[in-house]
Structure 1
C-alpha cells in the first residue's frame, strides 16, 4: 500500500435532485395513461434524495511516530514459537516494567512521548504482558520486528466482582482489555521498516489457555452453542480518550474485539488486523459513542464486523472509513446498537472480500450493512457508501431494522442513506440483499446510484428508494421507488491480497 504522506480534504456535498417535471415528461413520452399514473404515484411517494455524508470534520493527514522517547525498553525474553515457559506464562514478565514506564511517562499537557519496545537481538524480539494502561500523552511504540504477546493466564485479566475471566457464564465483563487507553493524545503505534514490516500485538486467541486445552476462540464458540456469554479480553479499548491514534501497527489473533473506541478524535492509519474469519466476536474496529473518526489505508480481516459504528449509550457522528480493504468479515457495518443515534458517516473507496486470506468464509458474509432492531434501535441518518467493491459475499447490501429478530420499544429508523457506486462480483450461491424498514411510519430511506450486482435477489418491505443507474429495483409491501438524477458510473474493481506480515 502507498505510504506517501498526504492530507485528506473531505469532499464537499454533491447536489442530487429528483428529475424535473420537464425531464420526467420527456422521459415518459409515449407511455400509456395507466403507466404514467403508476409512475407518478410511485414518484410522488418517494423519499427525498439525501445530502451526501462528509464524515470526519477534521483535516486528517498520515500520522508520524513521536520523536521523543521517554522510556526505551529492550526485550529480555526468548519465546519458543509463540509461547514461553510455564513460569513466564503464569506471571507475564514484562507487565510490571512496561506499566512502570507508562506510569512514569504520563503527560499533563498536550505533549506526547513514546514508551518504546525494542529487540535486544535476533533471539530476543518478544514482550509478554498482562493488561496495560496507556495514559495521557503517551504512545506505546513497537519497533519493527517486535511482538507484544498477550497473557494466556486468564487470572491476569480478572475484573473484581465479575464472572471468572476465561469461562462461559450467564454474564460477561469478567476480563480487562489487554491495553486500556485512559487519556487524551495517546497512541498505539509501530515503526515501519523499509521492507514493510511493522511492530505487532498478538492476542494469541488460538492458543490453549494456561493449564487447559481451551482457547479464547473455543470459549466464544462454546458460549454461542450454550446460549451464554464468553468472558474474553478485548485487545485495545479506548475509554473517552480524545485524539487517539493507531498507526502502522499489526493486530493479530485477538481473543475478542480488536479495537473499541469512544471519544472525540480517533485516527487509525496503516493498521493491519489479521484474525481468521472463523474466530467468533473478533470485530476489527468499533467506533462506539465516537465523534470525528478517520480509518484509512488499512487491511482488516476478522471473524465479525470489519467496522461496526455503534451508537449505544452515546451517539456516533462525523466518521470516515476510506481506502481500506476487508477480508472474511461480517461487513462494513453500522449497528446493531443505534439507541443514541448515528449520523454523518462516509465510507469511501473500500473493497471487501467475503473470504479471509486462507479462504475461510465468515459466519455472516455481508458487504455493506446497517443493522438494528426494536431491542436497541435509534435513528441512523446521512450515511454514504461511495465506490465500494464487493466479491465472494452472500449478502451484498443489507439494511435490516429487524436484526436477529430483536424485540423491544426502541425505533430503528434508517434515513438519508446513499449508496453511490457499488459493484459485486463472484457472489456465492443464494446471494441476496435486504431492504427492510421498520414499518410505514419509519420506512427505510435509501438512494441506489451506479449499482451493479451480479446477484440481484432481495427481500424488501417499507422502504422509499431513489434509483439512478441501478440494476436492482426492490419492490414489496410498502416499497416505493423513484428515479433521481445522478452522475458518475459503477466503479471498476480490483481486490488486493492481504499483505504478508
Structure 2
C-alpha cells in the first residue's frame, strides 16, 4: 500500500481532489496500521499479538454535496446590530413561523431530499428564530452570508411540565433544542463561498437572556458552583434520523451541546466549524450516542467540553470514524462516559488536538485522547484504534480511565485499544497520562506503538500493555507490559490555526 500522508484540510478550501492541506506526515507502515494492518512478529521472543485494528465507518464516505432541488427559498428581512435585534423581535422571533412552515411544506414521504434555503437580501443577512424541526428528507440550507440566530427568550424553548428553561434547578431537561432533526435523509448545511465563508448558526450563549441580566453560559457556571443543573437548549439534536448530514456549516456560541446525534444509522459531519470558547461549560462539539456508521471529517472544533464524545448509554455505538479534524481548547477526542450498552470499532486518524482555544484560553480539562467510564455507567469499549495523532499544550495526553466517577452498578471494560503514532509537545506543567483498569479481572487492554510524549508521567493500575517504540512505559499495581513488533513511525506534526470565520 503506497502512502501519501494523512492530511487535514485547510480552513477555506477542501473540494474533492484539490485540498489545501496541513500535513501530518506518517510513513508507509503507519498507513498500513490505520487500515488495520498492525504487523506483529509472533515468532519474536517475548512478544504478544496486537489486537486487530478498527476500521470505523462501514460506509464509503465521500464529500457531501448540497441538494439539487430547492423546495422553498426564504429571503432575509432582518439586519442585526451587534448580533441583536429590536426588543419586539427579541421577545417574539419573527422568522420561527415562516421557517417552520417552509420545512413542513417540503417534507418528503419517500427517499428524496430537497432544501429549504435561507438567503440574504443586500445587507439583510440575518434570520432570528425560536425552536424549529427539520423533517424527513429536508436540508436546512444556509447561504454563505446568512446567519441564523437562536432566540434569547427562554420561554420560546420551554418544555411543559419541566423545570423553567433559563434557570438553575435541581434537575434539567426544561429546554427544547434550537434545531430538532426528525426523520431520515435530513441535514443542516451551508453553502461555502470562494473566500471561505459559509452559512452560520449563532446560539448567542454569551449574550444576556431576554429580560434578564445573565447569559446561558453564566447559568452553566452557576450550576457548577451550586452543584445543580442548568436548563439550557442544545443547538442541534437529531434523534432516529438515519443518513443525517452536517456540511460546510459554522456553529458558534451554543448555549449547551452543539450537536447531539442519537440512536441513528448513518451520520456524516464534513466541513463543520464549531467555535465556542473553552470557558463555556458543557458546550460539547459533536456527540454520537447509540450511533452506527458515523464519519466526522475535515472539521474544526473549539468548545468548552468534549470535542467529540462517543457514547453508548442505552444503545451501542459502533463503526465510527473521526479523521483529519482539528480540536482547540476542548476536553479532547473522547469516548464515554456512558458506555453501558457498548462502544466498538472506532477509528480516530490524522487529527490534531490543541489544549488552548483560538483566543488563548486554556481548556479546563485539556486532554488529547480519552476513554472515560465508571461503575455508574460502564460497559464494554472494544476495538478502538488511534493513528497519526498530534497533541500540544494539554494536561493529559492519553487517558483510559474506568474510574471517571464514583459509584457502582455496572462494569467498564476497555479492550483492544491500539495507539499507533502519537506525538505530544508543549505539555503543561505537571502533565500526566492515566491508564486505569477497573480491577484485576478487568484490566485495560492497550497497545502503544510509535508513541512520543514530552512528559511520560503516568498514573497506572490494572492494565495489560503491549509496547513498541514508545516513550510511555506504564507501571503500577496490576500493570504488565510486553513487547510488540509493529510497523509505523512517530508522526511529524503541524498545528493549523483555527480558521477566521
> TM-score, normalising length from structure 1?
0.93
Per-residue deviation at 1:82? 0.3
- Aligned residue-pair number: 476
Does the CA-based 8 Å contact 2:116-2:138 persist in structure 1? yes
In the alignment, structure 1 segments of 5+ residues that lack a partner are 25-39
Per-residue deviation at 1:462? 0.1
What is the distance in 2 between the residues matched to 1:363 and 1:488?
33
Does 1:52 find its partner at 2:53? Answer: yes
Superposed CA RMSD in Å reads 1.4
Per-residue deviation at 1:50? 1.3
Aligned counterpart, 2:98:
97
Larger Rg: 1
Does the CA-based 8 Å contact 2:436-2:462 persist in structure 1? yes
Give 1:43-442 correspondences, 5 Å limit: 48-122=49-123, 124-262=124-262, 263-404=264-405, 406-442=406-442
Select the residue among 11, 16, 35 that pairs with 1:5. Answer: 16
- Which sits farther off after the overlay, 433-442 or 10-19? 10-19
Per-residue deviation at 1:6? 5.5
What is the distance in 1 between the residues matched to 2:72 and 2:305?
36
Deviations 1:81-124 (A, max 9, x none): 101111100100000000000010000011110000000112x1
Per-residue deviation at 1:408? 1.4
User: SS at the partner of 1:382?
Assistant: strand
Deviations 1:39-83 (A, max 9, x none): x6xx6xx7x521100000000000011121111000011211101
Per-residue deviation at 1:362? 1.4
Does the CA-based 8 Å contact 1:19-1:483 persist in structure 2? no
What is the distance in 2 between the residues matched to 1:353 and 1:12?
25
What is the distance in 2 between the residues matched to 1:173 and 1:239?
16
What is the distance in 1 between the residues matched to 2:317 and 2:98?
36
Per-residue deviation at 1:16? 3.0
Aligned counterpart, 1:35:
none
What is the distance in 1 between the residues matched to 2:172 and 2:92?
24
Aligned counterpart, 2:24:
none
Per-residue deviation at 1:15? 4.1
Does the CA-based 8 Å contact 2:189-2:249 persist in structure 1? yes
Does the CA-based 8 Å contact 1:18-1:483 persist in structure 2? no
What is the distance in 1 between the residues matched to 2:41 and 2:370?
25
Aligned counterpart, 2:22:
none
What is the distance in 1 between the residues matched to 2:129 and 2:208?
16
Does the CA-based 8 Å contact 1:334-1:370 persist in structure 2? yes
User: SS at the partner of 2:291?
Assistant: strand
User: SS at the partner of 1:403?
Assistant: coil
User: SS at the partner of 1:96?
Assistant: helix
Higher relative contact order (CA 8 A, sep 6+): 2
* Cα pair distance change 1:226/1:18, threshold 3 Å: farther
What is the distance in 1 between the residues matched to 2:17 and 2:110?
27
Aligned counterpart, 1:27:
none
Per-residue deviation at 1:4? 2.5
Does the CA-based 8 Å contact 2:183-2:242 persist in structure 1? yes
Does the CA-based 8 Å contact 1:202-1:251 persist in structure 2? yes
What is the distance in 2 between the residues matched to 1:199 and 1:139?
13
User: SS at the partner of 2:420?
Assistant: strand
What is the distance in 1 between the residues matched to 2:14 and 2:303?
23
What is the distance in 1 between the residues matched to 2:285 and 2:51?
29
What is the distance in 2 between the residues matched to 1:308 and 1:78?
36
User: SS at the partner of 1:102?
Assistant: helix
